């Protein structure tokens, strides 16, 4: 399973200890930190857990997961690969590794991970969905120097918004919304920005001018945000009754005619599609008001789900 990723980052994490009790306590502490939104503290705690017990798979998995969310992709891949070298390989590690490989356009590696899952469980919903994503990405075709172009684009998307010529007020507002990079900003719509308290027209104009100078616009990466939202939902509900429900049609919610029409305009067909959207996106549809939004949210709460937030 191992790729060309350097093992040096992983070697700095995995120690030689074997204190599973300590690792378990640290894992619990890290989960509390992550739930409170302290991802970097959770990562530091998970590093200690893995150092305490190099064989604690769940601690290693959680560390890889949070490193990926924090943008430390290389180290996350190294951890996932180490986990997937085991027999049997953890299914969730295989799935997450496949997603990272796909993002790097390493489609053959992604397919190998997914086939390992499907060989054991041919009807696994996430594996089947991800395999479709890989096939669709592959079918889009490649161009000369694709890997180089992909790397350049990824580096550009990871540029911190603090590197741009924005006012302190605007930077502070984006930080509060957890919009850290150019990629985060492009996955955000104008309606979503304006839905936040104290985010005014002047900050919006400032951002739009900055993006326009780069030939970009707010919301142009919204499809990436939706795909990420669907994956987040699948990860959140894995192993629960809601996992299978994500593929069910939104008509199962028995919404009003007005609400159903609004969702049709957004091409929202399944519950997975719906939970990948934010409140602001729904409110941006003509004639979709607060009453329809409340209706949708209440129906989702009844089945233990909710709309995507801007920081997911």
For residue 13, name the pLDDT band (cuts at 50, 70, 90).
very low
pLDDT higher than 90, residue 45:
yes
Q: What is the pTM of this model?
A: 0.42
| pLDDT (0 to 100) of residue 11 | 45
| pLDDT (0 to 100) of residue 16 | 43
> Which tens digits make up the pLDDT trace of 150-201?
567 667 778 888 888 889 888 888 888 778 888 778 777 777 787 777 788 8
> Which tens digits make up the pLDDT trace of 78-105?
999 999 988 888 999 999 999 999 888 8
pLDDT higher than 60, residue 287:
yes
For residue 216, name the pLDDT band (cuts at 50, 70, 90).
confident
Separation of alpha carbons 264 and 206, rounded Å: 33
Give DSSP secondary structure letters for the chain.
---S--THHHHHH--S-B-HHHHHHHHHHHHHHHHTT-HHHHHHHHHHHHHHBTT-HHHHHHHHHHHHHTT-HHHHHHHHHHHHTSSSPPHHHHHHHHHHHHHTT-HHHHHHHHHHHHHH-TT-HHHHHHHHHHHHHHHT---TTHHHHHHHHHHHHT-BGGGSS--HHHHHHHHHTT--BHHHHHTS-HHHHHTSTT--HHHHHHHHHHHHHTT--TTTTHHHHHHHHHHHHHHHTTTSHHHHHTTSBGGGG---HHHHHHHHHTT--BHHHHHTS-HHHHHTSTT--HHHHHHHHHHHHHTT--PPPTT-
| Comparison of pLDDT for 151 and 265, the residue scoring more | 265
């Amino acid at each position: 399973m191992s790729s060309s990723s350097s093992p040096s980052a992983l070697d700095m994490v995995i120690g030689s200890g074997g204190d599973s009790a300590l690792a378990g306590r640290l894992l619990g502490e890290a989960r509390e930190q992550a739930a409170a939104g302290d991802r970097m503290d959770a990562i530091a705690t998970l590093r200690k857990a893995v150092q305490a017990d190099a064989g604690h798979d769940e601690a290693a998995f959680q560390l890889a997961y949070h490193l990926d969310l924090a943008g430390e992709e290389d180290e996350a891949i190294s951890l996932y690969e180490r986990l997937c070298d085991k027999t049997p390989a953890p299914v969730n590690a295989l799935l997450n590794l496949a997603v990272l490989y796909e993002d790097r356009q390493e489609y053959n590696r992604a397919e190998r991970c997914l086939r390992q899952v499907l060989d054991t469980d041919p009807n696994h919903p996430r594996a089947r969905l991800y395999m479709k994503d890989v096939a669709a990405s592959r079918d889009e075709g490649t161009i000369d120097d694709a890997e180089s172009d992909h790397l350049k684009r990824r580096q550009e998307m990871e540029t911190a918004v603090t590197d741009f010529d924005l006012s302190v007020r605007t930077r502070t507002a984006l930080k509060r919304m957890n919009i850290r990079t150019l990629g985060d900003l492009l996955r955000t719509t104008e309606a979503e920005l304006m839905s936040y308290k104290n985010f005014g027209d002047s900050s919006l104009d400032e951002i739009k001018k900055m993006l326009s100078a780069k030939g970009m616009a707010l919301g142009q990466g919204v499809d990436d945000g939706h795909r990420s939202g669907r994956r987040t939902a699948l990860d959140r509900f894995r192993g629960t009754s809601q996992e299978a429900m994500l593929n069910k049609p939104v008509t199962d919610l028995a919404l009003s005619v007005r609400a159903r029409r609004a969702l049709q305009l957004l091409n929202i067909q399944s519950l997975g599609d719906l939970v990948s959207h934010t409140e602001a996106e729904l409110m941006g549809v003509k004639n979709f008001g607060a009453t329809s939004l409340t209706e949708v949210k209440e129906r989702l709460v009844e089945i233990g789900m909710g709309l995507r937030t801007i920081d997911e």
